[in-house]
């Protein structure tokens, strides 16, 4: 979840596809490690009626690749449970 509207619109689209039965949304991965990003995704999950969809975050981004735009799917992922109050 970044700092512009396209991420919010993309999640909205996924929730609507989930509602229509077009997809089975198994989890959402945030490429940002900021706690606010994860909490916002959790709030959207709850707002759209899917509070139990797991949220993944990258464990770490190696220093040598921080300036290269890479996919979160290539990074080690740590799943965050919505019952936690902060990112582990």
The domain segmentation of the chain, as residue ranges, is: 5-80
**Angle subtended at Cα 80 by Cα 8 and Cα 6, rounded to the nearest 5 degrees:** 10
pLDDT tens, 33-50?
777 888 899 999 999 999
Give how far Cα 24 sits from Cα of 7, 37, 59, 82, Å.
Answer: 19, 22, 25, 19
pLDDT tens, 47-66?
999 998 988 877 665 555 44
**Angle subtended at Cα 8 by Cα 65 and Cα 35, rounded to the nearest 5 degrees:** 55
pLDDT at 78: 54
Helix axes 35-47, 5-20, angle to 10 degrees: 30
- Over residues 65-86, the mean pLDDT reads 48
């Amino acid at each position: 979840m970044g700092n512009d509207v396209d991420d919010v619109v993309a999640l909205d689209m996924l929730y609507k596809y989930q509602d229509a039965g077009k997809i089975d949304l198994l989890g959402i991965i945030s490429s940002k490690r900021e706690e606010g990003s994860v909490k916002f995704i959790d709030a959207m999950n709850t707002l759209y009626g899917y509070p139990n969809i797991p949220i993944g975050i990258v464990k770490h981004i190696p220093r040598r690749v921080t300036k290269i735009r890479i996919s979160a799917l290539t990074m080690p992922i740590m799943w965050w449970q919505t019952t936690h109050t902060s990112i582990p």
